[in-house]
């Protein structure tokens, strides 16, 4: 909002004013992503420029707008710092063998008799370890699709199980950029955000696994071909010393979540622990560990799936995401400082009288952003900025908002064919989003669980209860 001492706060902003930059953003992103295969950075910059022009036209000063941009970016600075540390941590964890051993153990649970259940759990383990649904789907997911072909499992069912598992880990992993972005935008803390998401995500996962088990009871006749999975586990075993001691770093992070440590120092210590184990267990030189922490780990096993999975991490790997977040926060800052964001939110909130309807409105807005401005980050940032103050006005803890942003924004993104996530999954798994959507149980069940809990008043934390939660 404009500064209280700024006379521009009295400017009358109409809904059609606010819709001009939104329509510009949607159009620019649609053309850039769908026609030219580009990314959302430049469309966000151009849409921000459009919002600035509209702001000037209705009477706002550049000083007010610039102040809004800087305050908008400030909201995301904690997430940006954490993402930088996570880039370092992913690099040291791969070099140490932490990520490889989690993937290795995850693949051991593959069982032809419960393929869909196993595929979902395997992808959940791998995405928890990597923090990336895209990396999981493009490596282990492809291998599991090959196994599904050998078992005569319908590709749509297999893809649904892969995506459900991949997005469970993406949503719950402290290594995920979306998981860091949502609490930053909403005003909550990373680890409290993850704990609060358990209430919606775990029930949805359990229901999903039950549904996959029921589908699996029908049986799939076919020859069991696990050659791709075996090739991955063999390559992992040859490149790394897979000692159980490598489970210490993830156990440390899990403990820090439950002991309510601040995320930044906890993740930094986890990154350092990964570096120590890389030197001690894998025999990596100290200088090389520093290089990996900066530029990431490069895998050279000769196995394409393993090399794609493990060539990852490093401080530099986060710069594209950081720049996208800065562009999105700039757009949000202009929209907020000119009053256009509050007008958009107010139009929707006229229908949201109760806590349940507020959460439902947030879910609908996140899904709408994934459809209209097809980018996962925007489905978190824009609704987060729209509803942040409203949640506080109603006495609701910010972690209620951050949870809902992920329940709807993160999880609905692969279900939209023209969304960047949906397009990636369709191209990677060779299955249309419309085909796998009915079987991506976790992705559409979680928003339903979130709305149900909100209407019932269960697990909704109020600001007055913050000390006790």
> 313 or 79: which carries more pLDDT confidence?
313
Query: Where is average pLDDT lowest: 19-23, 140-144, 155-159, 195-199?
Result: 140-144
Check pLDDT > 80 for residue 83: yes
- Across 70-147, the runs of DSSP E, i.e. the strands, are none
d(CA 49, CA 63): 15
Residues shown for the chain: 469
Q: From the CB of residue 85, how many other CB atoms can be counted at a distance below 10 Å? A: 21
Higher pLDDT, 325 or 404: 404
Extents of the domains making up the chain: 78-318
For residue range 313-369, what is the model confidence (pLDDT) as tens digits? 899 988 988 888 889 889 988 988 999 988 988 898 888 889 999 999 999 999 988
Q: How far is CA 50 from CA 6, 22, 339, in A?
A: 22, 9, 15
* Amino acid 4: pLDDT: 44
pLDDT in tens, 268-321: 999 999 999 999 999 999 999 999 999 999 998 888 888 887 898 899 988 988
Distance CA 75, CA 15 (A): 25
Q: DSSP per residue over 418-462, as a string? A: TSHHHHHHHHHHT--HHHHGGG-HHHHHHHHHHHHHHHHTTTPPB
pLDDT of residue 72: 84
Distance CA 54, CA 49 (A): 9
Which letter does DSSP use for residue 259 in this model? T
Sign for the CA dihedral angle at 43, 44, 48, 54 comes to: positive
Q: How confident is the model at residue 2 (pLDDT cuts 50, 70, 90)?
A: very low
**How does the average pLDDT of the chain come out, rounded?**
89
What is the pLDDT at residue 232? Answer: 85
At 44-58, the pLDDT tens digits run 899 999 999 999 999
SS3 36: coil
Q: Is the pLDDT of residue 107 over 50?
A: yes
């Amino acid at each position: 909002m404009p500064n209280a001492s700024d006379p521009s706060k009295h400017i009358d902003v109409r809904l059609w004013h606010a819709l001009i930059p939104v329509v510009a953003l949607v159009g620019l992103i649609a053309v850039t992503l769908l026609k030219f295969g580009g990314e959302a950075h430049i469309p966000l910059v151009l849409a921000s420029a459009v919002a600035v022009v509209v702001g000037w036209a209705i009477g706002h000063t550049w000083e007010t707008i610039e102040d809004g941009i800087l305050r908008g970016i400030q909201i995301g600075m904690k997430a940006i710092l954490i993402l930088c540390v996570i880039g370092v941590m992913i690099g040291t964890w791969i070099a140490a063998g932490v990520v490889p051993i989690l993937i290795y153990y995850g693949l051991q649970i593959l069982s032809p008799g419960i393929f869909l259940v196993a595929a979902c759990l395997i992808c959940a383990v791998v995405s928890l370890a990597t923090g990336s649904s895209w990396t999981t789907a493009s490596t282990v997911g492809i291998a599991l699709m090959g196994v599904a072909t050998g078992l005569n499992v319908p590709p749509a069912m297999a893809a649904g199980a892969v995506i459900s598992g991949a997005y469970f880990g993406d949503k719950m992993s402290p290594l995920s950029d979306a998981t860091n972005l949502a609490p930053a935008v909403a005003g909550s803390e990373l680890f409290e955000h993850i704990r609060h998401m358990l209430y919606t995500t775990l029930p949805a996962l359990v229901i999903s696994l039950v549904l996959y088990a029921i589908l699996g009871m029908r049986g799939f006749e076919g020859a069991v071909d696990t050659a791709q999975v075996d090739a991955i586990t063999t390559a992992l075993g040859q490149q790394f010393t897979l000692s159980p001691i490598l489970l210490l770093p993830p156990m440390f992070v899990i403990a820090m979540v439950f002991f309510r440590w601040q995320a930044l120092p906890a993740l930094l210590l986890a990154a350092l622990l990964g570096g120590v184990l890389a030197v001690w267990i894998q025999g990596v030189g100290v200088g090389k560990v520093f290089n990996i922490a900066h530029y990431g780990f490069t895998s050279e096993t000769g196995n394409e799936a393993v090399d794609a999975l493990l060539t990852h991490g490093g401080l530099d790997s986060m710069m594209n995401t950081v720049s996208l977040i800065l562009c999105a926060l700039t757009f949000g800052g202009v929209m907020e400082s000119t009053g256009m964001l509050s007008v958009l939110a107010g139009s929707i909130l006229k229908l949201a009288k109760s806590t349940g309807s507020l959460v439902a409105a947030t879910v609908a807005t996140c899904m709408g952003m994934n459809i209209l401005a097809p980018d996962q980050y925007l489905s978190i940032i824009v609704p987060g900025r729209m509803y942040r103050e409203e949640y506080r006005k109603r006495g609701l803890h910010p972690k209620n908002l951050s949870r809902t942003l992920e329940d709807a924004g993160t999880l609905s993104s692969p279900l939209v064919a023209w969304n960047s996530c949906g397009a990636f999954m369709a191209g990677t798994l060779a299955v249309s989003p419309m085909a796998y959507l009915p079987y991506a149980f976790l992705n559409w069940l979680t928003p339903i669980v979130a709305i149900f809990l909100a209407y019932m008043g269960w697990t909704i934390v109020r600001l007055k209860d913050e000390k006790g939660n």
